[in-house]
Amino acid sequence: MESFLKRNFEVPAKNPSEDAQRRWRGAVGKLVKNPRRRFRMVPDLDKRSEVEAKKRNIQEKIRVALYVQKAALQFIDAASKRHYQLTEEAKRAGFAISPDELASIATAHDNKGLKLHGGVEGISKKINVSLKNGTNTNDLVMRQNVYGVNRYIEKPSRSFWMFLWDAFQDLTLMILIFCALISVGVGLATEGWPKGIYDGLGISLCIVLVVTVTAISDYRQSLQFKDLDREKKKIDIQVTRDGYRQKISIYDLVVGSKVQDGSGKMLVISVGMRTEWGRLMDTLSQGGEDETPLQVKLNGVATIIGKIGLGFAIATFLVLLVRFLVQKALHAGITKWFASDALIILNYFAISVTIIVVAVPEGLPLAVTLSLAFAMKKLMNDRALVRHLSACETMGSASCICTDKTGTLTTNHMVVDKIWICGVSKSFKGKKTIKGLNSLVSGKVSSILLQCIFQNTGSEVVRGKDGKNTILGSPTESALLEFGLELEGDGSSQHRDCNKLKVEPFNSVKKKMSVLVSLPNGRVRAFCKGASEIILKMCDKIVDTDGSTVALSESQALDVINSFASEALRTLCLAYRDLDQADKGADIPSEGYTLIAIVGIKDPVRPGVKDAVRICKLAGITVRMVTGDNINTAKAIAKECGILTDDGLAIEGPEFRSKSPAEMKELIPKIQVMARSLPLDKHTLVKGLRDTLHEVVAVTGDGTNDAPALHEADIGLAMGIAGTEVAKENADVIVMDDNFTTIINVARWGRAVYINIQKFVQFQLTVNVVALIINFFSACIAGKAPLTAVQLLWVNLIMDTLGALALATEPPNDEMMKRPPVGRGENFITKIMWRNIIGQSLYQLVALGVLMFDGKRVLHLQGPDADPILYTVIFNTFVFCQVFNEINSRDMEKLNVFSGIFSSWVFLMVMASTVAFQIIIVEFLGTFASTVPLSWRMWVVCILIGSISMIVALILKSIPVESEKSHVSHSGYEPLPSGPDAV
């Protein structure tokens, strides 16, 4: 079995190859009761290939179009513009360009068409937009009517009746319906109305119940996924509207909103289905996600068990048929046949088919989907948006979290805490500090400092409707601008009256940003700002209190930087260089600067981070911090969070990059902190950790260039507030509240999913083993199957849908975070599970076997009703064994299985429903279910035998079993012990 699973069902958690997916689908497709239902949550691979081919075709057409564009445009004259007719509605609204023409300019990258309309300014006039003030709120509806809404046309949701139809597409159920119809026909011919229809009608009603409950479960899952999908698409953006900066939903974007992100601005000229995005979404509109590893593994288990069940079904049918033919030959003669004989053989066939229904555990892979949907819904309520099914599942196996600092471990609300200027260090305490600075330095120094702050920035200060200033930009720059506004006060703002000549935006590799400006007096000045160690090397002078320049003492500056860093402050250096007027067209210089100031910026650690890191350590999860900060700053923050231990390794990016591949491989598992890192360093670290059999979670706060690391990790996780859209787009999980403790909640739910599915598998395999063996051996020995087709269908409903609802939706508990993570390659069905399955199966088989072969004597049954009562007791006892076994399965190791049961309302509801329906079936539906009403004494006997399984469970759990060996953590933490004593 193990080799079969490894050969056919090795599908990675992220980005599985199409070949691997087709291989396992081909394997499980050989014995599938209902392919439409089993594969309904996954993509159509044939359609996906077709879509990819269409995408490549479109890309080729665009490439060819761009090649011939210059030549083609030479032959286009003004007459061609008549192809785009302006609608009457657009004319009435005062617009002078059609939506289709705007869309064609954007889609075809038509620069010449753009110039013909007067460029961006000309387009803005034709769509009645001010490039300064943006659109008018009162025009939004009109613009949406003319130019469209920024939504793509989605396919309508599937109705409940479609799910009902899918559930009915079960081959074995169809066979049973066919058997039921024949049974009704033969029964009417032999036994008349209404007695002749009871058997067939009973099977039909039970099938209707199974299909209805299945459809309801599937439909509810689809509604949950629809809510999740709606949440995924919620994106807020900043636009200029009514002359003010506003945050709006992406769905409210209209043609003519001027959008700003970073230092770039754009004019929206096409939205919705007229964009490449809209057309692509229309092409890709085919639901489903790639299969999760657990779904793949359980499909393999289901297939193998299904084949075993098929063998038992065929053997049962052949044994019953041979015994019937032998008895017929001995008594009535083999040549004499009656309609009742056909009914008996048909009943044997129905029982065999029903054994297949029970044997093929269709609920295994579907229970994963149900559990994941339930967990994802709960996590969404807890402000964690899981974008991919596999992420929630994989999170439970995470053994390593690689996180950046800013916006993840810290609040991402930065403030200037200290400043070193003109050789003096000052702690920033608001207006009191500003007053002291103004008395310390001359107006010339203040002017240079303010020029550097306000000119060399990618952020901006905007005034809202309430008249208050709002700073838009990164937290680091916002802190500097806030400081600049305080320093500026109500004084002159002449330092803002400069003309930018050249800009070099911040680069995560260079770790600096520069600008070349023309001052009001006509002189040219360069400003530079960035990481202290980078800027300091570019400076040879420092500004004095009166504005003159003196020689820079590098050792003194380094002492200041290290002093700030040891206080967990992020340090930035600000510098300038005066140039000649002739240098207006020159490149921004890279040396010869004068140091203005060293700024220490404080970013407080988030509340709860230290406790979250402690929980991670208890759970066997190592937290590693990767940051671009100074090594001293990084170590101070890491120690405050509890990440860096006394014997832990903190390393700088340049040192890490200087290592050979072999040295890196040996070093990577030991790293707890990496400072002065580049995005490539984080990617290398994540990849190296994955190669050492870690399940890695890569976390980013405001990292714009972390996409490769997020893509490489088993789970990419981004912060929803601090995170950039690039990071969020590449993430598998988005933490909406930017709280590091939420990551622990995701891990807790991930573990709950894995453990819940294990509980369900343990429960279902026990039922499978007992149902198959009891029916087979009873057929062989007694010539009669004790469980009828209707009864087996009811048991199947308990197992597949109700069992999944009860066990696969149990909430997590704190004990789950006191165990080591499950390593790659570990067996899903553990030795502990096999102990429980085999032990419970043996008990049930013995108990039911005694009832089957000696039940009349044990229960003192006599008279004509003895057989019906006995078989009803056997059925009732079997069901109550499963009810108590389901309670036992709530925990596979702990003795107290009732812990937290009242907080799991779904479990209680399922248990109550199962017992209530069992009473109805036995007491009131005996005609259809082949049961008879039982006395209260017999009910007590059934419940008592079933409840003994709980005593059996206590005995089994006291039997020591060697735990599965989890993978060795390279963090220095020892795996925690498992077993009842540990819990």
Phi, psi (deg, nearest 5) at residue 497: -85, 65
- How far, in whole angstroms, is CA 218 from its chain's centroid? 20
CA distances from 661 to 30, 388, 686, 690 (A): 45, 33, 14, 15
For residues 182 and 563, give the distance between their C-alpha atoms in angstroms, rounded to a whole number.
Answer: 90
**What's the count of helices (H) and strands (E) in the chain, helices before strands?**
37, 23
For residues 580 and 595, give the distance between their C-alpha atoms in angstroms, rounded to a whole number.
Answer: 19
Give the tokens for residue 628. 């671009």
Cα torsion 758, 19, 228, 293 to 10°: value is: 20
Contact 694, 674 (CB under 8 A): no
Contact 754, 294 (CB under 8 A): yes
For residues 725 and 454, give the distance between their C-alpha atoms in angstroms, rounded to a whole number.
Answer: 25
For residues 679 and 685, give the distance between their C-alpha atoms in angstroms, rounded to a whole number.
Answer: 10
Contact 364, 764 (CB under 8 A): yes
Q: Is the dihedral of CA 973, 978, 981, 983 positive or negative?
A: positive
For residues 334 and 577, give the distance between their C-alpha atoms in angstroms, rounded to a whole number.
Answer: 111
- Residue among 141, 397, 156, 102 nearest 270 (CA): 102
The separation between the first and the last C-alpha atoms of the chain, rounded to the nearest angstrom, is 31
Phi, psi (deg, nearest 5) at residue 249: -75, 150
Q: Longest Cα pair distance anywhere in the chain, in angstroms? A: 124
Q: Provide the H-helix boundaries in 29-170.
A: 35-38, 45-73, 88-92, 99-107, 111-116, 119-126, 140-147, 160-168
Catalytic-role residue among 139, 404, 583, 702: 404
Contact 815, 983 (CB under 8 A): yes
With residue 831 as reference, give the H or E element that holds it.
helix 831-859
Q: Is the dihedral of CA 80, 83, 88, 90 positive or negative?
A: negative
Contact 765, 777 (CB under 8 A): no
- Residue among 377, 361, 210, 231 nearest 295 (CA): 361
Give the tokens for residue 533. 């160690």
What is the amino acid identity at position 640? E
738 is catalytic: no
With residue 598 as reference, give the H or E element that holds it.
strand 593-602
Strand-pairing partners, residue 239, are 246, 259
* Catalytic annotation, residues: 404
